[in-house]
Chains A and B, each alone.
Chain A
Amino acid sequence: MTTGWTREQMAARAAHDIPDGSYVNLGIGIPELVAKFVPEGREFIYHTENGMLGMGPPPAEEDRDLDLMNAGKKYVTAVPGAAYFHHADSFSMIRGGHIDVCVLGTMQVAANGDIANWSTGEPGAIPAVGGAMDLVQGVKHIFVITQHTTKTGAPKLVERCSYPLTGPGVVSRIFTDLAVVDVTPDGFRVVELAPGITFEEVESKTGAAILPPE
């Protein structure tokens, strides 16, 4: 019986790999949970690309400030020492290599570090990219949190992405419900297995060659 990591445990595992004092940008979905699992004794400064450093947790509904939103257009708070700025400054922080870690969800990630998380490329779909392509090109370390397979069991870690790319060769580490996986010059390599998960199971659910833990 497969056990593996829950969404919360995946987020906590990713948080464990972010150094103290990092400037961090969190994508929408499971990545947002990372903020709940900052390891004891560490402080991360959260960047939200619509224009704030020092983003805090969501407020109670009655404490909402209608002018204080995050990039997912949800109401948030500002921690003491926060800063506001316009979009050109915000994306200078991203493109200029000033943000240390970005944690993203994805549709597919390839063994060469390619990521596809913005479009299925289906005809008639309305394309929407937001800041994803800026983030993957500019942030120093791109982490991905994702279920190992889709709801129908198809691998999300693949040899080559079939969906349109967000960026080529940019992902460094992947946190799934089954394992922590690095993108290396030799392709995927398991760094750590989730409790109760075997390497053979990870291998069978991965759509590319994958190396066992060193």
Chain B
Amino acid sequence: MINKKYSSISSAVADIPDGATVMVGGFGASGAPIELIHALIDQGAKDLTVINNNTGNGEVGLAALIGNGQVRKMICSFPRSSQSRVFPSLYKAGRIELELVPQGTLAERIRAAGAGIPAFYTPTTVGTVLAEGKESREFDGRTYVMEPWLQADFALIKCESADPAGNLTFNKTARNFSPLMCMAATTTIVQAKKLLAAGEIDPECVITPGIFVNRLVEVPHPAHEDTLIAEGRSYP
């Protein structure tokens, strides 16, 4: 029987190479796969392009990965927040690239990659500086901008429950971009709070079907970015 479980977090991320494009689930602190990100810091891959809605907070998780000099480029919709300092200082020093994508366009570009659709038209950004240089077209008298799909080599995802086939459930708003990223990456690596036996997730309640998931590791007590920051933690 299929079992996508890996014995350790480090083995699950061991083959992420320098220069890889990596999607990281989460919206701010909710859904951020802190343990997988920290394993990628330990592993040391550099020159990464990272796709996430934000750029991390404090000096843990995504902000720590960026702070460790492993990220060449961020693709995100909102690269600053009240507690993000690492990305802003590197950006102002010209040491990291930024591709700014509106949040809904970011989600749809990721979804399109998973769905095998190389580009689509959206009204978002029409008439703004973010549409400059992009192909546009009229449909039924309204102008739309063409946006390409956004693919990735790897996705790092946090979920609530997983079964051996990789079927996933999420918790509340921690779901956010994760089901889309599972579809869009060549290799999707998931940390689950609970690894259940086959049949323990009701097929009616599966959010991400296992076909979109490649590797599973169990992290029963995942760290939360806000808690780590409140404790004044940093990584490594």
Contacts and interface: CB of A to CB of B under 8 A. Distances in A.
Contacts of A169: 127
A156 to B, nearest CB: 19
B9 to A, nearest CB: 20
Contacts of A137: 122-124, 126
Contacts of A164: 128-129
A51 B176 contact: yes
A57 B133 CA distance: 42
B180 A133 contact: no
Contacts of A114: 127
Interface in B170-194: 170-180
Contacts of A65: 172
A92 to B, nearest CB: 8
Contacts of B127: 114, 165, 167-169
B27 A91 contact: no
Contact of A91 (B91, B98, B103, B179): B103
Given A66-B224, A168-B126, A134 B175 contact: no
A84 B104 contact: no
Interface string A84-100: 11111011001100000
A73 interface: yes
Given A69-B30, A130-B77, A133-B102, A88 B107 contact: yes
Interface in A125-140: 126-134, 137-138
B108 interface: yes
B100 A134 contact: no
Nearest to A130: B78
B91 A52 contact: no
B76 to A, nearest CB: 9
A87 B29 contact: no
B79 to A, nearest CB: 6
Interface in A115-165: 121, 124, 126-134, 137-138, 164-165
B105 interface: yes
A208 interface: no
A66 B176 contact: no
Main secondary structure of the interface of B (DSSP, over half): mixed
Interface string B152-179: 0000000000000000001111111111
Nearest to B107: A87
Given A69-B29, A95-B122, A126-B80, A84 B100 contact: no
Interface residues of B, number: 49
B173 A68 contact: yes
Contacts of B91: 126
A134 B30 contact: no
Interface string A51-69: 1100000000000011111
A176 interface: no
A106 to B, nearest CB: 14
B77 A129 contact: yes
Interface in B26-42: 27-31
Nearest to A116: B128
Contacts of A108: none
A49 B104 CA distance: 9
Nearest to B115: A88
B7 interface: no
B172 A84 contact: yes
A126 B89 CA distance: 10
A88 B31 contact: no
Interface in B80-95: 80-81, 87-88, 91-92
B77 A67 contact: no
Given A126-B91, A137-B124, A168-B126, A87 B30 contact: no
A-B CB proximity, top 9 nearest: A91-B104, A134-B104, A168-B127, A87-B107, A73-B28, A131-B103, A67-B174, A137-B123, A88-B111
Interface of B: 27-31, 77-81, 87-88, 91-92, 98, 100, 102-108, 110-111, 122-130, 170-180, 207, 224, 226-227
